[in-house]
Amino acid sequence: MTTKSNPYRILVVDDDKDILLLLSKWLTDDGFDVVIAASGEEALDRLNIDEPRLVITDLFMGEMSGMDLLARIHAENPLLPVIMLSGNAQIPDAVKATHMGSSAFLTKPVKQAEILDQVKRALRISPERQQQNPIASEIIYKSKPMEELIELAQMVADSDITVFISGATGTGKEILAKAIHKASPRRDHPFVAVNCGAIPEQLLESELFGHEKGAFTGANQKHEGLFKSADKGTLFLDEIGDMPLSLQVKLLRVLQDLEVRPVGSTRSYPIDVRIISATHRDLDAVVKEGEFREDLYYRLKVVPLHMLSLAERREDIPLLAGHFLQKHHNIGSKKQKHFSPDAMDYMIQAPWPGNVRQLINVVDLCATLSRTETITLNLVQHALQDEPCNLQTLKDAKQEFERNYLISVLKITNGHVANAAKIAGKNRTEFYKLLGQHNIDTADFRSEKNPLTSKNLNV
């Protein structure tokens, strides 16, 4: 074996010998290691033997079409880039190939520069390449805007520069913040995340800056605060758009002076943290409404990074779906599943209001529920319907749980209130009150209304 200037091996598949020779020459001249196959079946064999890092395949071939080959390849290895070539390409073919996760679709006759350019582009998203780039190794993408965003993030990771990440919920703001931290010189120190919207105003101040013992009622112990916990590392201020105005002033002062004074303390101490903040809100608008301080906003958004919603980068969907499917597979031990082409099509066109987070849930649900190796369109449609893209509030979730609980207890007791109340650990009056709140009628559970249940229970 000779040492190649380019470490990647490429499998080229075509039933046309001339094309095979031509492509091999171009790629070899550019330093790639090339293996060839004259059919889809042969290509599948070669895949296991040669373990290429990229496949270039013809669309129309004898038995197995390029599209079938693509599906088979991605069933085994969802992240392997596949470039599709076609002699008489139709737009629908190109669309379908892209939807099925091909990296590129090129029309013959293809030019040398064009194919090399696409090969290099596709290899940039290959897992190996992603491992070389600390940020890209965490974040799966192939769309152009994401590529530019990651490049920018990579550039700013090295310094202490303050980063502000905007984007809808579930788009990957936190994973990007973490990736920037991991790619920064602070990587061996803590990454501390705080959700500024989830903590009550009075607590948030002491949570961030710490407090002295006895600083307020209930402060039985000294608390060091998150700025201190994140010392020498990165502090991720998530949902900064929800930070109360009074605290915004204090945060601004901390960022200007680079020192923190714990609640109830007379002394300040210097801080050494990198700040990354994020919000799903449109902070420009929030500033205009007077709910967010403009001076703080400017201090935070030194480098603004915007995460696009999934609907704005649909090319990433097959890759992400494949990635999460493989992750799911690695956790369980059963055979790797894959999405049928029409199921994948459906996912690519779905609205995804919950973005990547929703996609993960849908993939997990499908992988768990699918009895066959191929995940069908039907299952995907159901998963997308069932999967709540916006999480309920705790209050709503509790309400729903309470209602379902009451219903099951009444079912078990055939609508017998005294028994039901006993099981629930309530007295009759309290129990009736609960039923009233949920608008539940015990008559609906009585056995005479439900002879089947009563029969079953009497057995």
Ligand X SMILES: Nc1ncnc2c1ncn2[C@@H]1O[C@H](COP(=O)(O)OP(=O)(O)O)[C@@H](O)[C@H]1O
Binding residues for Mg ion, per CB under 5 A? 174
139 versus 347: smaller Cβ distance to ligand X: 139
93 versus 316: smaller Cβ distance to ligand X: 316
Q: For Mg ion, which residue has the nearest CB?
A: 174
Distance (Å, rounded) from C-alpha 201 to C-alpha 293? 16
CB of 441 to ligand X, least distance (A): 41
From residue 382, give the alpha-carbon distance in Å to each of 22, 111, 304, 319, 339: 47, 44, 37, 21, 14
- Binding characters for ligand X, 94-133, by CB under 6 A (x = yes): ----------------------------------------
Task: Kindly determine how many residues on this chain lie close enough to bind ligand X according to the rule CB under 6 A.
Answer: 14
Tell me which amino acid residue 354 is.
Answer: G
CB of 357 to ligand X, least distance (A): 4
What DSSP assignment string belongs to 266-297? S--EE---EEEEEESS-HHHHHHTTSS-HHHH
Other beta carbons within 10 Å of 451: 9
From residue 408, give the alpha-carbon distance in Å to each of 405, 420, 426, 434, 445: 5, 9, 15, 14, 10
160 versus 174: smaller Cβ distance to Mg ion: 174
> Are 283 and 241 within 8 A, CB to CB?
yes
Of 173, 211, 274, 301, the one binding ligand X (CB under 6 A) is 173
42 versus 174: smaller Cβ distance to ligand X: 174
Distance (Å, rounded) from C-alpha 401 to C-alpha 448? 27
Q: Which run of H or E residues covers position 13?
A: strand 9-13
Of 52, 170, 210, 225, the one binding ligand X (CB under 6 A) is 170
15 versus 174: smaller Cβ distance to Mg ion: 174
Query: Which of Mg ion, ligand X, none does 360 bind, CB closer than 5 to 8 A by kind?
Result: ligand X
Query: Which of ligand X, Mg ion, none does 211 bind, CB closer than 5 to 8 A by kind?
Result: none
CB of 7 to ligand X, least distance (A): 24
Query: Cα 158–163–165 angle (5° rounding)?
Result: 130
Query: Which of Mg ion, ligand X, none does 363 bind, CB closer than 5 to 8 A by kind?
Result: none
Query: Is position 141 an interface residue for ligand X (rule: CB under 6 A)?
Result: yes
Other beta carbons within 10 Å of 291: 16
Query: Which of Mg ion, ligand X, none does 57 bind, CB closer than 5 to 8 A by kind?
Result: none
Phi, psi torsion values for 211, nearest 5 degrees: -150, 160
Sequence-separated (6 or more) residues with CB below 8 Å from residue 258: 270, 271
Query: Is position 171 an interface residue for ligand X (rule: CB under 6 A)?
Result: yes
Of 157, 271, 356, 384, the one binding ligand X (CB under 6 A) is 356
Q: Give me the residue label for tokens 């590529």.
A: 147
Query: Is position 175 an interface residue for ligand X (rule: CB under 6 A)?
Result: yes
Query: Which of Mg ion, ligand X, none does 252 bind, CB closer than 5 to 8 A by kind?
Result: none
Q: Which residue stretch of 43-51, 166-174, 336-344, 396-404 sits at the interface with ligand X (rule: CB under 6 A)?
A: 166-174
Q: Which residue stretch of 135-143, 285-293, 333-341, 342-350 sits at the interface with ligand X (rule: CB under 6 A)?
A: 135-143
Strand residue runs (E) in 252-386: 259-260, 269-270, 274-279, 303-306, 338-339, 374-375
Binding site for ligand X (CB under 6 A): 139-141, 167, 169-175, 356-357, 360
